[in-house]
Amino acid sequence: MKALAITAATIALDSSGVPYTLRKFESDTVTGFGKEAAIRMTVDEDQVFKTILFGDKEMAVVAIAPVSREISTKRLAAAVGVRNLEPMESALAQKMSGYVLGGISPFGQKKQLETVIDSSADNFETIYVSGGRRGLEICICPTDLMHALNALVAHIHAE
């Protein structure tokens, strides 16, 4: 049932024909959105993936990794062939993606950016990514996520 919410992310997925389901929950946090999602949905934190923008106006990359782990900026930079990448300033990330923090989805962003998915996604039949607003998660097969975003898969989490 996809009538739970209409966001730019669900519109993008619907138009591309990618199969997914939605999970909705009440969000009452101002930080730790991914961990809150795992707790509210009673799902392992390794299966809930955060979407974080790195870089600046000239060079931006979307990183998708488990909420249970930090993203290694060195590994992410190496995956996309640059020397250094730092997390994007919050206001710029919101402006570039079209979403609020805690609701940044990899789907339906204002501009398709280079995207890297942590290889740990392959450990699961399905994973969760933001549905485009706080309290809304998309459940999707990692392979479908990779194909829909034309994403690289690399080991980008810190040890």
DSSP H stretches of helix in 42-150: 73-80, 90-97, 142-149
pTM for this entry = 0.91
Q: What is the pLDDT of residues 26-68, one digit of tens each?
A: 777 655 677 788 888 889 999 999 999 999 988 999 999 999 9
Instruction: Note the pLDDT of residue 4.
Output: 59
Q: What percent of the chain has pLDDT over 90?
A: 75
Tell me if 117 sits within 8 A of 152, measured CB to CB: yes
| Burial class of residue 6, CB neighbours in 10 A (0-12, 13-18, 19+) | exposed
CATH top-level class for 8-154?
alpha beta
Average pLDDT over residues 71-96: 95
Domain regions of the chain by residue span = 8-154
